[in-house]
């Protein structure tokens, strides 16, 4: 493979704090726009009735888990592309990006077929009542058919993120969100001669929006330094490419999807307390997803910074980036938790005028919000681990957080304290999981920094470990 020095390995010099800010702030708008889709959906669907809001609450963790598979694609492509650019291998970066796109397209078609065929069994396993089944099916059928668009958009976004094109990456998410903002009220409630489709209209809006975002992603990628070139497709090196992408993207996809799977399990526990508890939990979950937007944006930007510096053998800079990011996550999470707790009932009332639903949503916020800071530490640390080809470590933490903490705690605390105990299980999972993830990521990056010092000493050159500013 020919090697070409590229200017896109631009995160390997200069101030780390500047790079974190410069890469994160566009992502804030992009992720905020993406998260706002859930809030808009919940608001307009909630106007249709409590049953519709309960149905969308069952649906939410499933589509979040499916979207997390797309996030795995982003992480995998981001990791291999950023490290290749850090080494100056521009052509290899383009090849890996194309291979990631092909893998994503194939996976999207397969998942769409499985979701279409087995959606009924899936929601019965979550204790969704038969009265909600038609509403759930009305949403999930068109969503399943449109899922390949999700994977295509995510793969192209991964190529943009890997080269540090944060503004372009965020623009894709903004297009997706804007389309949903416009289409949701039109297709859910109706507009002029256009009839309303109820909860199905929310799914139609999402599918159309993903298609428009995918087209936008392709255009922006083709005008960037790193392009999607069919000429890069070659049987030579395909096996290595697939293994490189799957080694990171596979565990990252599972790691990102395990949290919404855990939330689906909690939803199943809460279903035993009635539809109001599920509806309240779903509404609060949408609010929570928006509140942690800066943390999600930071977890998305840390990968390119850590990946490029790791590929350039500047592990000390990668470690310092992690410390800055986790420090911000904990501070921000604590502040936003206090705000959500103080105004819990006010925020909950935005989604429903039903007193039991508002009570359940506020109850969740008062308990679970205090774990948001360490949840931020979890996703930031996992983002750093994914970027340096340590996705298996991130996966281990994420799976342990859900299967060893969240689910057992929900069963035990729910039996003792009711729905408040179920909410407490999420708090415990975030506190424990975030602490362990940071400890692992810091140790891995510190080990890399020690290797960097050894290389500098052997070469008789000063170490770059502290030359981060």
Q: What is the mean pLDDT of residues 92-119?
A: 85
| Residue 461 neighbours by CB under 8 Å, 6+ apart | none
**Which tokens belong to 442?**
């810091």
> What proportion of the chain, given as a percentage, has pLDDT over 90?
20
Would you say residue 3 has pLDDT above 60? no
Contact assessment for residue 275 and residue 50, using Cβ atoms and an 8 Å cutoff:
yes
Identify the pLDDT of residue 232. Answer: 67
pTM score above 0.75: no
**What is the per-residue pLDDT for 448?**
58
* pLDDT value of position 467: 38
Query: Which of 303-312, 342-351, 428-437, 448-457 is modeled with the greatest confidence?
Result: 428-437
Q: In this predicted model, which residue has the larger pLDDT, 358 or 226?
A: 358
Residue 464 has pLDDT above 50, yes or no: no
pLDDT of residue 369: 93
**Residue 196: burial class (beta carbons within 10 Å; 0-12, 13-18, 19+):** middle
Note the pLDDT tens digit of each residue in 120-153.
888 888 777 788 888 888 888 898 888 888 888 8
The pLDDT tens digits of the residues spanning 26-62 come to 777 767 776 777 777 777 877 777 788 788 778 877 8
Q: Give pLDDT, residue 236.
A: 66
Per-residue pLDDT at 404:
93
pLDDT digits (tens, 9 = 90+) for 368-400: 999 999 999 998 998 888 888 787 888 898 889
Average pLDDT value for the chain: 81
Structure tokens at 201: 């209209």
Torsion of CA 266, 267, 271, 272, to 10 degrees: 0
Judged against a pLDDT cut of 80, whether residue 305 lies above it is answered with yes
Domains of the chain, by residue range, sit at 11-457
pLDDT at 454: 55
Express each pLDDT in 64-80 by its tens digit.
777 777 777 777 787 77
Do the Cβ atoms of 282 and 42 come closer than 8 Å? Answer: yes
As a whole number, mean pLDDT of residues 262-272 equals 84
């Amino acid at each position: 493979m020919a090697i070409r020095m590229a200017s896109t390995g631009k995160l390997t010099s200069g101030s780390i704090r500047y790079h974190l800010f410069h890469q994160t702030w566009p992502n804030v708008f992009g992720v905020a726009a993406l998260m706002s889709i859930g809030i808009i959906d919940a608001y307009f669907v909630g106007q249709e009735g409590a049953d519709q809001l309960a149905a969308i609450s069952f649906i939410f963790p499933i589509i979040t888990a499916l979207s997390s598979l797309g996030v795995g694609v982003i992480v995998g492509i981001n990791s291999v592309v950023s490290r290749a650019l850090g080494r100056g291998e521009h052509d290899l970066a383009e090849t890996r990006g194309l291979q990631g796109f092909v893998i994503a397209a194939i996976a999207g078609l397969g998942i769409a077929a499985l979701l279409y065929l087995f959606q009924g069994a899936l929601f019965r396993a979550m204790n969704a009542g038969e009265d909600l089944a038609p509403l759930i099916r009305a949403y999930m059928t068109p969503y399943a058919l449109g899922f390949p668009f999700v994977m295509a958009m995510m793969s192209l976004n991964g190529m943009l993120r890997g080269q540090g094109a944060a503004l372009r990456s965020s623009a894709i998410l903004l297009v997706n969100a804007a389309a949903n903002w416009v289409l949701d009220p039109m297709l859910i409630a109706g507009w002029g001669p256009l009839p309303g489709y109820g909860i199905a209209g929310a799914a139609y809006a999402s599918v159309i929006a993903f298609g428009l975002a995918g087209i936008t992603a392709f255009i922006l990628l083709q005008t960037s330094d790193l392009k999607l070139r069919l000429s890069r497709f070659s049987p030579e090196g395909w096996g290595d490419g697939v293994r490189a992408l799957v080694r990171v993207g596979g565990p990252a996809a599972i790691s990102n999807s395990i949290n919404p799977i855990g939330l689906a399990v909690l939803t199943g526990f809460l279903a035993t307390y009635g539809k109001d508890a599920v509806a309240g939990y779903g509404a609060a979950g949408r609010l929570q997803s928006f509140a942690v937007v800066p943390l999600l944006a930071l977890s998305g930007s840390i990968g390119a910074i850590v990946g490029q510096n790791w590929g350039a053998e500047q592990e000390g800079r990668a470690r310092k980036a992690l410390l800055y990011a986790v420090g911000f996550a904990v501070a921000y999470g604590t502040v936003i938790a206090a705000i959500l707790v103080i105004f819990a009932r006010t925020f909950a009332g935005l989604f429903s005028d039903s007193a039991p639903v508002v009570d359940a949503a506020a109850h969740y916020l008062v308990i679970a919000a205090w774990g948001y800071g360490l949840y931020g530490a979890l996703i930031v640390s996992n983002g750093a681990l994914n970027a340096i080809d340590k996705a298996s470590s991130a996966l281990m933490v994420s799976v342990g957080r859900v299967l060893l903490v969240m689910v057992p705690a929900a069963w035990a605390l729910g039996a003792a304290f009711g729905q408040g105990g179920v909410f407490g299980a999420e708090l415990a999972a975030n506190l424990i999981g975030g602490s362990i993830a940071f400890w692992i990521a810091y140790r891995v990056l510190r080990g890399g920094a020690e290797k960097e010092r050894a290389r500098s000493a052997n070469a008789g050159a000063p170490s770059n470990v502290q030359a981060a500013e």
